[in-house]
């Protein structure tokens, strides 16, 4: 009887120990990185999307509009070209991609954008052709794009609480128009093939790159030089709650949760030089 009780106690001890060990082995969230497809990180990828004249999407094929919008932007006759070739750090030679670019998390663009749009990353989006969603001062009262001297540039940069991030550089008008499902566009879609402007008719290219914290800060400084950032109202210093805003110089949205990055972006938008914080710098004690 005593031997049986001892075995039971040993069994219970091992069970609790193994449970605790398994519970304590959880890994912290991985740093943001370009994705070749969902769950398959790479250091970079490049995709070239063919035009609708050469490689048209079949009329019977309906865009998924996974990030919002209606198929063909509500225009049944819209021409869609979403066939593509792509390469990555793991496969540096261009090869035909499967499916249609931006249609799901099984392709590089859909998977990488989903990481930002449906995640909790801080981000900045810029595009000189938002087509009045949102309405920007540089568009004037009747225009739908921001001309010179504003930069003819489009893209997105996103980062985590440690400042590590990714760059997504695009050439598509009116996409992306938002970087978070919590702040969707008000009057237009946010998926390729699902916005009112037929922005997948012509050929376009897309590039994603993994960034360190120092890379992110240097990129933000370069954006000011390029002419895509100004007139943003930033959450009060010390506030770590998510805020969303827009600007009037090329168009931009942002959400900031990291104090170092908040201070850097605030300095940039005030026309000052950004302090370059290093990845080893201790995060603000109030950050959650």
Q: What's the whole-number average pLDDT of the chain?
A: 73
Query: Is 173 or 277 the better-scoring residue by pLDDT?
Result: 173
Decide if pLDDT at 279 tops 70: no
pLDDT in tens, 171-206: 888 888 888 888 888 888 899 989 888 788 889 999
162 DSSP assignment: T
Average pLDDT estimate for 146-175: 85
Reading the block at residue 254, the tokens are 């942002």
pLDDT of residue 3: 45
Decide if pLDDT at 37 tops 50: yes
Query: Do residues 193 and 57 lie in contact, with contact meaning Cβ atoms separated by under 8 Å?
Result: yes
Query: Is 11 or 188 the better-scoring residue by pLDDT?
Result: 188
Decide if pLDDT at 14 tops 60: no
pLDDT of residue 71: 87
Which range of 26-35, 145-154, 192-201, 257-266 scores highest in mean pLDDT? It is 192-201
Decide if pLDDT at 238 tops 60: no
Q: In which band, very low, low, confident or very high, does the pLDDT at 33 lie, cut at 50, 70 and 90?
A: very high
pLDDT of residue 263: 67
Does the pTM surpass 0.85? The reply is no
pLDDT in tens, 85-123: 999 999 999 999 999 999 999 999 999 999 999 998 888
Q: In which band, very low, low, confident or very high, does the pLDDT at 225 lie, cut at 50, 70 and 90?
A: low
pLDDT of residue 180: 87
In 3-state terms, the chain is what percent helix, strand and coil (to 5)?
A: 25, 15, 60
For the stretch 183-214, what's the b/e string if a residue is b when 16 or more beta carbons lie within 10 angstroms of its beta carbon? bebeebbbbbbbbbbbbbebbbebbbbbbbbe
Query: Is 235 or 167 the better-scoring residue by pLDDT?
Result: 167
Average pLDDT estimate for 33-60: 94
Look at strands 44-49 and 84-88 and give their pairing.
antiparallel
Decide if pLDDT at 61 tops 50: yes
Query: Is 25 or 10 the better-scoring residue by pLDDT?
Result: 25
Decide if pLDDT at 9 tops 60: no
pLDDT of residue 224: 67
Decide if pLDDT at 167 tops 90: yes
Reading the block at residue 103, the tokens are 């249609």
Average pLDDT estimate for 160-164: 88
β-bridge mates for residue 95, sequence order? 86
Measured between alpha carbons, how far is 86 from 137 in angstroms, rounded to an integer?
A: 36
Query: Do residues 33 and 160 lie in contact, with contact meaning Cβ atoms separated by under 8 Å?
Result: no
């Amino acid at each position: 009887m005593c031997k049986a009780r001892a075995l039971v106690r040993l069994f219970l001890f091992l069970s609790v120990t193994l449970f605790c060990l398994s519970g304590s082995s959880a890994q912290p969230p991985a740093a943001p990185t370009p994705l070749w497809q969902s769950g398959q990180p790479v250091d970079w990828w490049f995709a070239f999307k063919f035009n609708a004249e050469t490689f048209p999407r079949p009329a019977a094929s309906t865009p998924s509009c996974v990030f919002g919008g209606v198929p063909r932007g509500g225009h049944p006759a819209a021409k869609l070209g979403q066939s593509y070739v792509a390469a990555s750090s793991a496969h540096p030679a261009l090869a035909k991609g499967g499916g249609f670019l931006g249609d799901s998390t099984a392709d590089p663009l859909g998977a990488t954008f989903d990481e930002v749009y449906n995640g909790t990353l801080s981000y900045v989006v810029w595009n000189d052709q938002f087509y009045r969603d949102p309405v920007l001062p540089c568009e004037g009262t009747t225009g739908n794009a921001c001309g010179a001297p504003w930069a003819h540039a489009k893209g997105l940069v996103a980062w985590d609480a440690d400042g590590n991030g990714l760059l997504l550089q695009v050439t598509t008008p009116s996409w992306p128009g938002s970087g978070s499902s919590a702040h969707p566009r008000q009057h237009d879609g946010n998926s390729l093939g699902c916005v009112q402007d037929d922005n997948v008719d012509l050929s376009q290219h897309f590039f994603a790159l993994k960034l360190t914290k120092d890379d992110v800060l240097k990129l933000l400084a370069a954006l000011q030089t390029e002419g895509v950032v100004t007139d943003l109202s930033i959450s009060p210093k010390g506030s770590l709650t998510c805020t969303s805003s827009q600007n009037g110089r090329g168009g931009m949205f942002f959400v900031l949760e990291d104090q170092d990055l908040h201070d850097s972006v605030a300095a940039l938008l005030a026309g000052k030089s950004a302090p370059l914080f290093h990845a080893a710098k201790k995060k603000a004690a109030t950050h959650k």
